[in-house]
């Protein structure tokens, strides 16, 4: 059963994967650190589930963008990246944050 283009099963699978990565849930051979669910808690899993839903909604939004608009946005982002490197006006930390934000958006657009 799906909600629009978002699969609930896919979101749940992603949430468990995040739970293993961030909190070390599960046996070591499955990517965990041997921690039990009871020792980590429901609120921690809920945060992973929220993050998984947010990521899946973001993917669905990007997938809904027409390819011509994606291509145009990619060109704008690439121009911003080159301008950012040439005309750095803020701190180095601010420049790194802006570069990271632009790279993340480029990666998301190219993946969809």
pLDDT value for 30 = 67
Angle between the N-to-C axes of helices 92-111 and 67-86, in degrees from 0 to 180, rounded to the nearest 10: 160
Closest CA to 5 of 62, 67, 54, 60: 60
Q: Is the pTM of this model over 0.75?
A: no
Closest CA to 107 of 73, 69, 68: 73
Give residue-wise pLDDT tens across range 35-47.
777 778 889 889 9
């Amino acid at each position: 059963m799906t909600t629009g283009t978002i699969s609930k099963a896919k979101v749940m699978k992603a949430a468990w994967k995040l739970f293993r990565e961030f909190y070390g849930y599960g046996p070591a051979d499955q990517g965990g650190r041997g921690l039990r669910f009871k020792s980590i808690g429901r609120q921690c899993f809920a945060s992973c589930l929220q993050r998984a839903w947010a990521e899946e909604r973001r993917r669905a939004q990007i997938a809904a963008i027409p390819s011509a608009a994606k291509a145009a946005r990619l060109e704008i982002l690439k121009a911003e990246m080159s301008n950012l490197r040439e005309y750095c006006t803020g701190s180095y930390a601010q420049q790194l944050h802006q570069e990271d934000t632009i790279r993340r958006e480029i990666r998301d657009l190219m993946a969809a």
